[in-house]
Amino acid sequence: MRPLVFDNRFVAELPGDPESANTRRQVLGAAWSRVAPTPVAAPRLLAWSKEVASLLDLDESDVRDPLFAEVFAGNRLIAGMDPIASNYGGHQFGVWAGQLGDGRAISLGEVVNRRGERWELQLKGAGPTPYSRHADGRAVLRSSVREFLCSEAMHHLGIPTTRALSLIATGEPVVRDMFYDGRPAPEPGAIVCRVAPSFIRLGHFELPAARGDRALLERLVDFTIDRDFPHLVAAHPADPVERRAAWFMEVCERTAVTIAHWMRVGFVHGVMNTDNLSVLGLTIDYGPYGWLDDFDPDFTPNTTDAQGRRYRYANQPAVGQWNLSRFGAALAPLFPDTAPLEAGLERYADVYTGTHRALTASKLGWRAWHDGDELLARELFELLHRGEIDHTLFFRALAEVDPGSPSLAPFADAFYRDAARERVAGELLAWLVRWGARVARDGEPAVLRRARMNAVNPRYVLRNYLAQQAIDAAEAGDPGPLAELLDVMRRPYDDQPGREPYAARRPEWARHRPGCAMLSCSS
Ligand code: AMP
Ligand code: MG
């Protein structure tokens, strides 16, 4: 395996924990703690992303080198790596939770590639850290497969996300109480190497703010702007308050855009705690996430959230803004007044609304969003809900409908239940007639319209049942289906002949099966 060039700025420029023992503790006045990954018994490479490898200037020969699996399972360090766990807090389910930190993530360092891009490498499941609290620092294969696949699937959908380089089986069991019902059982363990320009979360700023540690808060803010938002330093060279205000605004904008894309593809994050929101607006921390099958605005894949449904599909835009309001409150001591923070939160709402409307217009085949489109769009979503119609299949099939003489034929596969179909068939046809008239008003050639629709309405999304089938095979020792599924997800907007089953609606067996319908946080 060829060497990598590291430039570990997070460690070099931010204060670290003077204590070096790997014991659980509160870490004050420091952004990180040095901690070595705990070696595992028998690393075995199960999957890797060639696109992410190439971001690191690695190719297949590097990945096939036995050293690769050793390094990315945490058994060996290579020159330049300086492993740490970072320190952050967060609001979990709306409640301040205090110090959380990287309890099972260990950053190996920041690679600078040949193009000068910075990519931090982080092992998830590499053993305990000072932030592990009562847990073991490990990850099970099923959740690691889900994180690996979804990171890459989201990227190929064009949605900001952390990436995944590798998935390595550890050869060691991990005990989990999967259903939280007092029946803990051993499961195969695994480690994902995730990759991003920055793993800084909103919760990184909330923790020093909550502790009244203004010095650390200020250093973290200025470090983040300097390393991860260098264009803002160039744009506001003289005035740090102005620069920080522009930064807050940009974090709000990025978060709004990412969440608008989640809504576009029917992605439900499942655990939008402030420690799981990236300051770069990347989708991060793939846990009990899910995808809409039949359109249901109240859908949450997370059993832990089933009561309050705080993180349900339709609530994601509001939760994004609430999280940013917590982030803004943490930053308030650095501003003479709250006007820039209020402006950022308003900007969030404007950017979200604008992006969501533009994307919805594209999904529906309209050139742009016009005043008066709201009602037609709202009526559709209400019909999708009442008709229990598959979100992905509906929009993909809509491109096949002739706006001049609509029919329901293209939607044959999009219904889950005959009774629900009958309930809405007449209304849906009437809606399609009005949709057709709206399309006609744009006066655009059909080929152009269809191309635009198919560029935002994926044919393939990583439905939970698909991921679960890959998990079942991987647990039985066959990583083939996992590689195949990753390959399908590389081109989610293309019709891929022979791969129609990957575009099918959720089968009945998956409606209630754990891992397919509902997921717990146990991972
Ligand atoms: P999450 O909401 O799953 O992102 O995790 C919240 C906090 O719990 C973070 O500080 C994680 O690092 C920590 N955590 C989750 N699972 C484990 C685990 N198995 N071992 C140690 N820490 C964990
Ligand atoms: Mg997390």
* Residue 14 in this model has a pLDDT that exceeds 80: yes
User: Ligand 1 mean position to 132 CA, how many Å?
Assistant: 7
Residue 516 in this model has a pLDDT that exceeds 90: no
In Å, what is the CA distance from 451 to each residue of 230, 400, 446?
36, 11, 8
Q: Is 17 helix (H, G, I), strand (E, B) or coil?
A: coil
pLDDT in tens, 42-83: 999 999 999 999 999 999 999 999 999 999 999 999 999 999
Angle at 321 between CA 315 and CA 324, to 5 degrees: 140
- Using CA atoms, how far apart are residues 37 and 18, in angstroms rounded to an integer? 18
Residue recorded with tokens 């803002």:
232
The answer to whether the predicted template modeling score (pTM) of the entire model surpasses 0.85 is yes
Q: Own/partner pairs for 334-343, CB < 8 Å, 24+ apart?
A: 334/214, 334/217, 334/218, 334/221, 334/241, 334/244, 335/241, 335/244, 335/245, 336/241, 340/241, 340/244, 340/245, 340/248, 340/249, 341/248, 343/245, 343/249
Cβ of residue 103 lying under 6 Å from some atom of ligand 1: yes
Q: Known catalytic residues?
A: 275
Both structure tokens of 456: 């935002």
> What per-residue confidence (pLDDT) applies to 180?
85
Q: Look at residue 271 in the predicted model and tell me its pLDDT.
A: 97
Q: Are 380 and 401 in contact (CB under 8 A)?
A: no
3-state secondary structure of 484: helix
pLDDT digits (tens, 9 = 90+) for 163-183: 999 999 999 999 999 888 889
* Ligand closest to CA 103: 1
How far does the centroid of ligand 1 lie from the alpha carbon of residue 461, in Å? 26
CA distances from 430 to 397, 402, 425, 433, 435 (A): 17, 14, 9, 5, 9
Task: Match 């319209």 to its residue by tokens.
Answer: 449
Q: Which of 162, 190, 184, 161 is nearest to 72 (CA)?
A: 190
Structure tokens at 325: 């309001």
284 lines ligand 1 (CB under 6 A): no
Q: Token pair of 32, please?
A: 């990180």
CB 416 within 8 A of CB 340: no
84 pLDDT above the threshold of 80: yes
Three-class SS state of 239? coil
Q: How far is the CA of 382 from the centre of ligand 2 (A)?
A: 33
Taking the CA of 130 as reference, the closest ligand is 1
Q: Kindly report, residue by residue over 310-362, the tens digit of the pLDDT.
A: 999 999 999 999 999 999 999 999 999 999 999 999 999 999 999 999 999 99
Average pLDDT, the chain: 97
273 lines ligand 1 (CB under 6 A): yes
For tokens 């590639």, name the residue: 113
Q: State the Cα–Cα distance between residues 471 and 187, nearest whole angstrom.
A: 12
Residue labelled with tokens 């595992």: 40
Cβ of residue 271 lying under 6 Å from some atom of ligand 1: yes
pLDDT of residue 518: 79
